[in-house]
């Protein structure tokens, strides 16, 4: 099933509560865009493509939530909703991309308020459907890079749960598996929210793909021992020069891969590229509450001292020089990324 769907009978958005997996599977429903923004903020739904789709459905909720009788009033309500949704999380560019796409269509629309409501919903559903098809295309390109017998380090969660369906980097692994390639995945646990240990491992079990969960600091040792052939991770925002912002730990993973001459690929849809941002150091990095780091127990007791504080950066930036290639729906793009991406886009 999809991570996020629209219930046409109730005019509600339904999404898997990813905070509870793998122990509990629960669907939450939302009938107001403010609730969707909170779901994004609290990571009920996460992953850049899934966040973009959630924002689009949030805009659809805002359209039906609005009591405006005029086009100007409805457009103003949708602009306010877009501004609110945009504040939910700062790093993933798909959030702003989806809202901008929705608002552009709203401003161009010529018709009645009710027709605009229907159009906003249709566009949100189009964005969701496109995400699935895009993921399958990029997964096909990426699977061509995977060889039979490969052992792959994968960071965070980039599967169906991080998208509307199928997945990006984990979607590549899934596609290679479905093509009959024998692969094994080393799953970075991904502290502090453990998206690898909780979500990626759960997805791999559904697909029947062999895996081992490893601590985030283990990847370099495995590479040095010759036990890894590929490194795959996703992206939450990509600068025009090819620098990639992704889940914290991706930079160190790419460094270890580079030092051991192991190809490291970042997998994402083109909508994740921020062409207006020249380099990665300008990407805003979300810092979350320190409780995510400190709320760790061992044998039922807290690990950290009572007065301990922490820094909890959710993302880091991997310089383009450490990345072997981008895997996108336009194909595999190699350095220099700024030049070759423009060529792939037909510009």
Question: Which of 136, 166, 201 is the last residue before a domain boundary?
Answer: 136
How much of the chain, in percent, has pLDDT values that exceed 70?
Answer: 100
Regarding whether 152 and 132 lie in a shared domain, the answer is: no
Regarding whether 192 and 120 lie in a shared domain, the answer is: no
Regarding whether 178 and 130 lie in a shared domain, the answer is: no
Mean pLDDT of 206-220: 97
Query: Which of 87, 120, 115, 89 has the alpha carbon at shortest distance from 103?
Result: 120
Question: Which of 136, 157, 186 is the last residue before a domain boundary?
Answer: 136
Contact 323, 239 (CB under 8 A): no
pLDDT (0 to 100) of residue 156: 97
What's the predicted TM-score (pTM) here? 0.92
Contact 233, 154 (CB under 8 A): yes
Q: For residue 252, with 0-12 CB atoms within 10 Å meaning exposed, 13-18 middle and 19 or more buried, which class applies?
A: middle
289-299: per-residue pLDDT in tens? 999 999 988 88
**Sequence-ordered strand ranges (E) for the chain:** 4-7, 12-16, 27-30, 151-154, 184-188, 211-214, 230-233, 237-239, 244-247, 264-267, 273-274, 297-298, 301-302, 315-318, 325-328, 331-333
44-102: per-residue pLDDT in tens? 999 999 999 999 999 999 999 999 999 999 999 999 999 999 999 988 788 999 999 99
Residues 65, 327: Cα–Cα separation, whole Å: 38
Total count of domains within the chain = 2
Q: Annotated catalytic sites, by residue?
A: 236
Regarding whether 45 and 190 lie in a shared domain, the answer is: no
User: What values do phi and psi take at 55, rounded to 5?
Assistant: -60, -40
Question: Which of 136, 159, 191 is the last residue before a domain boundary?
Answer: 136
Q: What is the DSSP letter of 286?
A: -
149-174: per-residue pLDDT in tens? 999 999 999 999 999 999 999 999 99
Mean model confidence pLDDT for the chain: 96
Regarding whether 190 and 100 lie in a shared domain, the answer is: no
Range of the domain at 316: 145-344
The enclosing domain of 219 has a CATH number of: 3.40.50.10470
Regarding whether 149 and 130 lie in a shared domain, the answer is: no
Distance set, CA 68 to CA 64, 105, 287 (Å): 9, 18, 37
Regarding whether 222 and 305 lie in a shared domain, the answer is: yes
Mean pLDDT of 112-137: 96
């Amino acid at each position: 099933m999809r991570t996020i769907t629209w219930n046409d009978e109730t005019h509600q958005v339904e999404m898997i509560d990813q905070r509870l997996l793998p122990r509990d599977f629960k669907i939450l429903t939302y009938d107001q865009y403010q609730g969707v923004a909170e779901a994004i903020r609290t990571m009920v739904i996460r992953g850049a493509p899934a966040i973009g789709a959630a924002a689009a459905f949030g805009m659809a909720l805002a359209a039906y939530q609005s009591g405006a009788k005029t086009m100007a009033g409805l457009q103003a309500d949708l602009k306010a909703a877009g501004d609110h949704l945009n504040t939910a999380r700062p790093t993933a560019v798909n959030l702003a991309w989806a809202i901008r796409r929705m608002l552009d269509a709203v401003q161009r629309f010529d018709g009645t308020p009710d027709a605009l409501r229907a159009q906003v919903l249709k566009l949100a559903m189009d964005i969701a459907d496109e995400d699935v098809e895009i993921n399958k295309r990029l997964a096909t390109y990426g699977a061509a890079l995977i060889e039979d017998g490969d052992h792959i380090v994968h960071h965070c969660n980039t599967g169906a749960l991080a998208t509307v369906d199928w997945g990006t980097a984990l979607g590549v692994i899934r596609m290679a598996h479905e093509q009959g390639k024998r692969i094994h995945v080393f799953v970075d646990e991904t502290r502090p929210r453990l998206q690898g240990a909780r979500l990626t491992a759960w997805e791999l079990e559904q697909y029947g793909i062999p895996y081992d969960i490893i601590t985030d600091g283990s990847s370099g040792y495995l590479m040095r021992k010759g036990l890894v052939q590929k490194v795959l991770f996703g992206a939450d925002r990509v600068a025009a020069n090819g620098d990639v912002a992704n889940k914290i730990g991706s930079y160190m993973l790419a460094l270890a891969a580079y030092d051991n001459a192991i190809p490291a690929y970042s997998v994402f849809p083109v909508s994740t590229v921020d062409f207006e941002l020249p380099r990665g150091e300008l990407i805003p990095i979300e810092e979350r509450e320190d409780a995510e780091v400190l709320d760790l127990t061992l044998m039922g007791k807290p690990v950290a001292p009572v007065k301990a504080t922490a820094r909890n950066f959710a993302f880091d930036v991997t310089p383009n020089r450490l990345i072997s290639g981008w895997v996108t729906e336009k194909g595999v793009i190699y350095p220099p990324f700024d030049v070759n991406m423009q060529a792939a886009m037909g510009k």
